[in-house]
Amino acid sequence: MLQNIRLIAGLGNPGMDYEKTRHNIGFMVIDNLAQYFSIPFTENRFSSLTGHGFIENTEVFLVKPLDFMNQSGPPVYLLSKFMGICIKDIIVIHDDMDIDYGKIKIKEKGGHGGHRGIKSLIDTFQGDDFVRLRMGIGHPDPGVNVIDHVLGRFCPDKEKTMDQLFTQAREAIVTILCKGTKEGMNAFNRKTLIV
């Protein structure tokens, strides 16, 4: 049986100033997927870098929207319409302060929880029926404001564990694609991946 084509979008901010910041962990996971599954980014259309290939036996488009985080919705929407991919076949990877670093959570539907990239997607699609892979970045330390926290870089101790984190995120994506979102939630949502 043929599977639906899936669109997997990692959220972040474009440009060198934002590389490897907490807010760009969605970009980092997408880059890891692209490298691991040999899916090069070959096109820039609708303000997005896109790559086309396969993860296991599922045909996918990997997407990095190049508008800033709070304008993530329109590029993903335009790409999905152009490619004929419906909202339920979209997976969005993004940072989440309400989850500790070292944990990931998979979510179906729901609100934006204050995340401007997710809000832009919900507003643009006029719906929330897409899967989210929420990458924990934790809350700011005392005295650090939210903007400085999300636009800051991971400390060296956390950077040492990021390959392990990317492996877990990759395994979560494969589980969603091959076994379904519910199975992914059961497998990953209660685990502490990195201590």
Catalytic residues, by residue number, are 23
CA-CA distance, 47 to 167, in Å (whole number)? 28
DSSP 34-62: HHHTT----EEETTEEEEEEEETTEEEEE
Residue type, 48: S
Question: Do the annotations mark residue 68 as ligand-binding?
Answer: yes
Q: Which residues are annotated as a binding site for tRNA?
A: 18, 68, 70
Q: Which residues are annotated as a binding site?
A: 18, 68, 70
